[in-house]
Amino acid sequence: MRVMQRRYVSIWFRQLLADWQVIRRPELSGVPFVFAAPDHGQMMITAVSTVAQGFGVEIGMRAADAKAICPGLDVLDDKPGRPQKLLKGLGEWCVRYSPIVAIDEFGMDGLLMDVSGCCHLWGGERGYLKEIVSRLKSKGYTVRLAIADTPGASWAVSRYGKVTPLIPEDGQVDALMNLVPEALRLEQSVLAKLRKLGFYQIKSFIGMPRSVLRRRFGEDFLLRLAQAIGTENEALIPLQVPVPFSERLACLEPIRTRNGIEIAINKLLENLCRRMQAEGKGLRSGVLTCYRIDGKIAKVDIGTSGASHSVSHLFKLFQLKIDQIRPALGIELFVLDAPKVDDVEVPQEEMWSSTPGLDDKSVIRLIDRVGGKVGFQAIHRYLPATKYWPERSLLKAVSVTEKPQAAWRVDKPRPTELLKMPVPIEVMAIIPDHPPKFFIYKGVRHEVTKADGPERIEREWWLDKGEHRDYYQVEDDQGGRYWLFRSGHYGSGQKYKWFIHGFFA
Amino acid sequence: MDGKRELFQKLQQDILLWQGFKPLSAGKAERIGLGEIEDAFPGNVFPKKAIHEFITILPEHSAASDGFIAGLLAVLMENGAACVWASTSRKLFPASLSHFNVEPERIIFMDVKTEKEVLWITEEALKCEGLAAVVAEVNSLSLIESRRLQLAVEASGVTGFILRKDENKTSSTVATARWRISPLPSVTEDGMPGLGFPRWQVELLKVRNGNPGSFVLEWAGERFEEVKKAKKQPVWAGAEGRQIG
């Protein structure tokens, strides 16, 4: 089998900052302006607009000098890190063309994309490049593109190529021959050395022995050269790590209706679930990304409590979220990712009816649906904690299948309803250390007729400070049963308080 | 006269069957452990495929209702099935359920913010056949909402318990049974000090096609125990004059 030829596209934004500024402030389109940042106490120019370029203003000039040769020049403040931010946004937008998009770290003015196997979707490489150029142009960016077998060659051709941006397969060496050494992404010191020696084109040194080149120009130079001609691999660091389980659906017409979105989700799920089923995997979390034609991105996500590759179940979960998708003018591309998948236990053909329980399939689906609608933080299951302090006697279960580590205690009475916070009450107790004679809670006086206790519960002194509690189980003359406690010792000079903490059945 | 009565009884049986009440199959009685209270229901069977409403206004009432429901859940969840408990302001202390023979870890609590979400969850959960029961705490329940829940129950067979906090609109739901559980002073054996078993006044305010009544019940550690026959106040005594509706 022939390995698929890898293809890379380099996008060069010729005036990234200037274009961006004009998009933001259209009134600047005919005005010469520059970006400048302070460097060693002087304002140095970092980006130049097209109009200003006509006056001979260049990057690296002092802002004061530029003002002298170009009257009326607007000097804008540059912020460090702005190109990264812009490229990140543009790169995320470009994910529609290829899943692997990386920022060009060398020049910080372009993007590199691994487009292997992507171009045919736009009718070949020519159409693909044309589409990207025209779309970016309509946004307001002037770009140059090139496609080649290596990121290095595409980078070189996009910036310095003069013939064609389409470098055929295995044609990168020929394409590089006539280019200047700058096209190899080299350091300034190496470039100066090359110029001094009279190497103005790559072809004048590409045939020289490696040992000679290494001695003269260093290991880095050889690496860059090898990366450009393809003898060395260059790994791109993608902006978004591509998900192994991912499906995309491009639409001919923008989708705007709920019905259309439902059909799209169903189609994506069918493909995704077929793949997951074949590999014995199930979805634990899914993200649907909708690329709108106005450039915005709408995202919804779902989660399941157990791995599932059932189209109908996952579809129902997405159905609850469709309301959150704002299609605006229309959605042109749907991408369904499954960032988290798990092995799914293939259920045995149902020979005997399944035993009901927490892991019953219908129960798990119910939990997923409720979790999808109101959030999984609303769903709790409790396990016994080996602690006496009532507020800490429960553990929240992490998963549906988690089993209790200890037995539930039944030796001490516990109220069926527990107040979140104990409420202070007024009591009257005749004898110290006895249950109260009566207590007043919410303005109602309860005459205590029967009582049990006290049960002393100590605080966990290694966790918090405070008084212990003496709990009494009391019953009033009406039959109401309450859980009261006295905080602290009964004694002279010491503060103690009575609280109500719960109701017994 | 006897012929007429037989005819009435036959017709009543037919109607009950259509309404989803299971007739008591001969010999094999599916008791839920409520003793005589079960006789108040048509066919002398506690309807599992139904919505049961509990009126709880005071916290003492809701605590008693929680205990009573927990006792019922112990039987309903015997086969290992799970239960959903939906609420906006849950006070139930899960650890206490083990005192009623219920394994608290098999209860899935869904604590949401709005009443609407509670009702949505309740309806979805009642449709879920893998559950034994659904408990929902709501402030009020409209006729339409209760009808939706009833339809869900009829399809799945899950028992629904609705704890309602308002008394005003009591007559406007289609629940099969309406209960009010209020605490009664407990009694200890031989006048020993301390508290006895939890004891309740169980009022069956409404039973569709059955006999409402009032009972005194105790949770005797392991099971319900009827204390003594309270004065029954049937609307119409006897089998021929059951409450219709």
Contacts with B92 from chain A: Cβ below 8 Å:
416-418
Residue A401 has pLDDT above 50, yes or no: yes
Residue A301 has pLDDT above 50, yes or no: yes
pLDDT score, position B236: 47
Contacts with A390 from chain B: Cβ below 8 Å:
93
**Rama region for A72: left / alpha / beta (φ>0; ψ in -120 to 50; rest):** left
Q: Is the ipTM of this complex over 0.85?
A: no
By Cβ distance, the residue of B82, B110, B113 closest to A379 is B110
By Cβ distance, the residue of B63, B80, B117 closest to A374 is B117
Residues A128 and A117: their CA atoms lie apart, in Å, by 12
> Quick check: B183 and A356 CB within 8 A?
no
Q: How confident is the model at residue A59 (pLDDT cuts 50, 70, 90)?
A: confident
pLDDT score, position B87: 93
A220-245 b/e (C-beta count within 10 Å ≥ 16 → b): ebbebbbbbbbeeebebebbeeebeb
By Cβ distance, the residue of B59, B104, B194 closest to A417 is B59
Contacts with A449 from chain B: Cβ below 8 Å:
185
More confident residue, A107 or A156: A156
Options 3.40.50.300, 3.30.450.20, 3.40.50.720, 3.90.228.20; CATH of B2-226: 3.40.50.300
> Quick check: B95 and A404 CB within 8 A?
no
> Quick check: A505 and B66 CB within 8 A?
yes
Contacts with A388 from chain B: Cβ below 8 Å:
none
Residues B217 and B137: their CA atoms lie apart, in Å, by 23
CA angle B204, B210, B216 (to 5 degrees): 30
Give mean pLDDT, residues A120-137. Answer: 88
Contacts with B128 from chain A: Cβ below 8 Å:
362-363, 365-366
Give mean pLDDT, residues A17-27. Answer: 88
Contacts with A408 from chain B: Cβ below 8 Å:
95, 98, 103-104
Which residue of B lies nearest to A472 if distances are taken between CA atoms? B194
A176-228 residue pLDDT tens: 888 998 898 988 889 998 889 888 998 888 888 888 888 888 888 999 999 99
Report chain B's mean pLDDT, rounded to a whole number. Answer: 82
Q: How many angstroms separate the CA of residue B9 from the nearest CA in chain A?
A: 37
Burial category of B53 from C-beta neighbours within 10 Å (exposed 0-12, middle 13-18, buried 19 and up): buried
Residue A496 has pLDDT above 80, yes or no: no
> Quick check: A478 and B185 CB within 8 A?
yes
Token duo for residue A405: 């580590």
Going by the DSSP 8-state scheme, the letter that residue B245 receives in this structure is -
Taking Cα atoms as reference points, which of A340, A250, A246 lies closest to residue A288?
A: A246
pLDDT score, position B166: 77
Residues A57 and A42: their CA atoms lie apart, in Å, by 16
Q: How confident is the model at residue B165 (pLDDT cuts 50, 70, 90)?
A: confident
Most confident listed range (A236-250, A438-452, A484-498, B27-41): A438-452
B204-235 residue pLDDT tens: 988 888 888 898 988 888 888 887 654 444 44
Could you tell me how many CB contacts below 8 A there are between chain A and chain B? 175
> Quick check: A416 and B131 CB within 8 A?
no
Chain B interface test: which of A417, A421, A471 (most B C-beta within 10 Å): A417
Report chain A's mean pLDDT, rounded to a whole number. Answer: 86
pLDDT score, position A409: 85
Q: How many angstroms separate the CA of residue A319 from the nearest CA in chain B?
A: 15
> Quick check: B185 and A475 CB within 8 A?
yes
> Quick check: A355 and B200 CB within 8 A?
no
A31-53 b/e (C-beta count within 10 Å ≥ 16 → b): ebbbbbbeeeeebbbbbbbebbb
Domain topology for A1-242: Alpha-Beta Plaits (3.30.70)
Token duo for residue A70: 């170009």
Options 3.40.50.12780, 3.40.50.300, 3.40.630.190, 3.30.1490.100; CATH of A246-350: 3.30.1490.100
- Of the ranges A290-294, A302-306, B80-84, which one carries the lowest mean pLDDT score? A302-306
> Quick check: B93 and A417 CB within 8 A?
yes
- Return the residue matching tokens 């429960």: A394
What is the radius of gyration, based on Cα positions, of chain B? 18
A427-483 residue pLDDT tens: 887 777 788 889 999 989 999 988 887 889 988 888 888 888 889 999 998 889 999
> Quick check: A475 and B68 CB within 8 A?
no
> Quick check: A370 and B62 CB within 8 A?
no
> Quick check: B93 and A416 CB within 8 A?
yes
By Cβ distance, the residue of B80, B184, B195 closest to A355 is B80
Kindly report the pTM of this predicted structure: 0.63
Give mean pLDDT, residues B102-109. Answer: 91
Residues A474 and A483: their CA atoms lie apart, in Å, by 6
Chain A interface test: which of B96, B103, B184 (most A C-beta within 10 Å): B96
> Quick check: A394 and B67 CB within 8 A?
no
Contacts with B84 from chain A: Cβ below 8 Å:
366
Residue A25 has pLDDT above 60, yes or no: yes
Q: What are the domain boundaries of chain B?
A: 2-226
pLDDT score, position A235: 85
Which residue of A lies nearest to B79 if distances are taken between CA atoms? A356
Contact indicator for A240, A92 with CB cutoff of 8 Å:
yes
Going by the DSSP 8-state scheme, the letter that residue A109 receives in this structure is S
Contact indicator for A155, A47 with CB cutoff of 8 Å:
no
- Of the ranges A8-22, A264-278, A490-504, B40-54, which one carries the lowest mean pLDDT score? A490-504
> Quick check: A414 and B95 CB within 8 A?
yes
> Quick check: A416 and B105 CB within 8 A?
no
B128-149 residue pLDDT tens: 888 999 999 998 888 888 889 9
> Quick check: B63 and A383 CB within 8 A?
no
Q: What are the domain boundaries of chain A?
A: 1-242, 246-350, 417-503
Chain A interface test: which of B56, B65, B78, B93 (most A C-beta within 10 Å): B93
Q: How confident is the model at residue A74 (pLDDT cuts 50, 70, 90)?
A: confident
> Quick check: B105 and A383 CB within 8 A?
yes
By Cβ distance, the residue of A362, A410, A473 closest to B99 is A410
> Quick check: A505 and B121 CB within 8 A?
no
More confident residue, B239 or B49: B49
Residue B238 has pLDDT above 50, yes or no: no
Share of residues in chain A with pLDDT > 70 (%) = 96
Token duo for residue A82: 């702005």
> Quick check: B185 and A381 CB within 8 A?
no
Which residue of A lies nearest to B116 if distances are taken between CA atoms? A374
- The DSSP-derived string for B168-180 is TTGGG---SEEEE
Crossing angle of helices A311-319 and A258-278, in 10° steps, is 140
> Quick check: A409 and B219 CB within 8 A?
no
By Cβ distance, the residue of A417, A451, A505 closest to B198 is A505
Which residue of A lies nearest to B88 if distances are taken between CA atoms? A378
Q: How many angstroms separate the CA of residue A436 from the nearest CA in chain B?
A: 13
> Quick check: A374 and B66 CB within 8 A?
no
Q: How many angstroms separate the CA of residue B168 from the nearest CA in chain A?
A: 23
Residues B210 and B214: their CA atoms lie apart, in Å, by 13
Q: How many angstroms separate the CA of residue A404 from the nearest CA in chain B?
A: 7
> Quick check: A502 and B93 CB within 8 A?
yes
Contacts with A380 from chain B: Cβ below 8 Å:
108-111
Which residue of A lies nearest to B217 if distances are taken between CA atoms? A505
By Cβ distance, the residue of A358, A408, A413 closest to B82 is A358
By Cβ distance, the residue of B110, B131, B186 closest to A450 is B186
Q: Which strands sit side by side in the sheet containing A33-39, from one edge to the other? A: A42-48, A33-39, A74-77
